Amino acid sequence: MVFRVTDKALTLMEYIEFNVIPTYELMDKGHGLQHIEDVMQKCSDIIQDYPEINANMIYVIAAYHDLGRKHDHEYTDKENIHEKLSAKLLMEDVNIWKWFTEEEIEVMAQAIEDHRASGNNPPRSIYGKIIADGDRNLNCNDIIRRSLGYNMNKYPNSNKEELYQTVRAHMVKKYGYGGYLKLYLNWKGDVEALEDIRKRLVNEETFKEDFNAIWKKEAVA
C-alpha cells in the first residue's frame, strides 16, 4: 500500500490496523479481510493520480466502508443498510476525532454512505468517487468467488445449482449490460475489465465453467 505516511498517519494506521481491520475477520467470505485489503490497495493506487487528496482520509474511508455489515442482519428497515451503519460507526468513533476535523469526518462519512454500487445518486465528493471505484473489484473470477462465499454463508442449505443461479442473477443485475454498477473515474483498466465481465456473462457456457472451477475450491474450503 502506498499511502503517504507521516507521523500523524503512523499512529492513525496503528489504531486502524489493531482496532478496525480485525473486525472483518467476522464478516462473510465476500466481505472479509481479503476484500478490505483489496479495496485499501486499489484506493491507494487510485490516489496516486490525485495528489491533492488527503491520503489519511481515504485510508480511513476504505477501512470503515463495510464495517456496518457486522450489524446489517439486525435490521429490516431498508434505511438501515450497511453503508449508513458504517458511516454511523465512523462518526461515533471518538478516537477518529483525534486526527480529523469535524468537516473532514463529515466528508468521510458521506463518502462511505455514497459508495454502494446500487445507489441512485452519484457520490457527493471526489472521496466518495474514489471509494466507490475502489470498491469495484472487476476481476470476474474474484467476483464469482466473493458472491459465492457470501451466498454460501447467507443460504447454507442451498445446493450448487441454486447457488449458481443466485450468483449469476446477481452478477447480471449488477455487472451486465444495463446493470446498475457505475464507474465514476474510469480508472485505468476498469472500463475494459467491466466489458470482459459482460461478455463472459453473455456466454453462459463459459461462465458456468468459471463458476464450476471456483465451486470446486470454495465448496471444500
The angle, 0 to 180 degrees and rounded to 10, between the axes of the packed helices 55-64 and 7-19 is 0
CATH tag, 7-134? 1.10.3210.10
Backbone angles phi, psi at 163, to 5 degrees: -65, -40
- The three three-digit cell numbers of residue 90, written as one number: 465512523
Residue 121 confidence class, pLDDT cut points 50, 70, 90: confident
Geometric angle at alpha carbon 38, from 5 and 149, rounded to 5°: 150
Q: Give residue 26's pLDDT.
A: 82
Residue type, 132: A
* 76-80, Cβ contacts within 8 angstroms, sequence gap of 24 or more: none
DSSP code, position 69: G
Domain regions of the chain by residue span: 7-134, 140-218
Model pLDDT for residues 156-205, shown as the tens digit of each residue:
999 999 999 999 999 999 999 999 999 999 998 899 999 999 999 999 99
What number is the average pLDDT over the span 134-157?
91
Residue in 202, 204, 198, 85 with CA at minimum distance from that of residue 143: 198
Q: Compute the distance between CA of residue 11 and CA of residue 19 in angstroms, rounded to an integer.
A: 12
